[in-house]
Amino acid sequence: MGATGSAVSRVPGADEIQKETGFSSAHIYRLYDRFQVLDKDDNGVLSRRDLQSIGELAVNPLGDRIIDAFFPNGVETIDFRSFVRILAHFRPTEENRQREPNASEPLNSRNSKLKFAFQLYDQDKDGKISRAELLQVLRMMVGVEVTDEQLESIADRTIQEADLDGDGTISFEEFKKSLEKVNIEQKMSIRFLR
């Protein structure tokens, strides 16, 4: 591997991607290489199965949720651009960089990072994490030793803790609020993508 070919043109639409995501061109090359490795049938798009074949993901409790996040709105395949766009959520945030007031929110902002996490929970996309949805994720993340009663009590308490308007679900605002003390910029960033 390694980005030996330094021609920007090798990567389709590299300029726009760079502009949109803030990745440097070196990053784009590297990610493009990775994209091609993942793209088993060389058709320029990734399918669910391409991602599913990453071994480590199968042992990641949220692996499939994350794969789902790469295929929003029921699309079957994604191109390189969408692929990078998702990954851009995990670029570290530059706190001191001034951004133009009218520019759209960058993909790696705190808000975007939180949104990404939120939608992993919110499967039916109604903007709320219901008790059932929370339970699903909980069940994915804990071992079988934990009984459902325990899990339910945890889920209930989690909801109680975050639920400010008392509707028994966690909205995105409430989600954000419950994590306001957490350094999301740091927790949801990968140094290598810097």
Q: CA 58 → CA 28, 54, 61, 120, distances in Å?
A: 26, 7, 8, 16
Binding mask 119-148 for another protein (x = CB under 8 A): -xx-xx-------x--xxxxxxxxxxxxxx
Residue 193 found at the interface with another protein (CB under 8 A): yes
The backbone torsions φ and ψ at residue 166, rounded to the nearest 5 degrees and listed phi first, read 75, 25
Residue 45 found at the interface with another protein (CB under 8 A): no
CB 133 to another protein: min, Å: 8
The 3-state secondary structure of 64-127, one letter per residue: HHHHHHHCHHHCCEEEHHHHHHHHHHHCCCCCCCCCCCCCCCCCCCHHHHHHHHHHHHCCCCCC
**Window 71 to 110, contacts with another protein (CB under 8 A):** 87, 90, 92, 95-96
Judged by CB under 8 A, the stretch of 5-13, 14-22, 99-107, 149-157 that binds another protein is: 149-157
**Window 16 to 35, contacts with another protein (CB under 8 A):** 31, 33-34
Closer residue to another protein, CB minimum distance, 13 or 86: 86
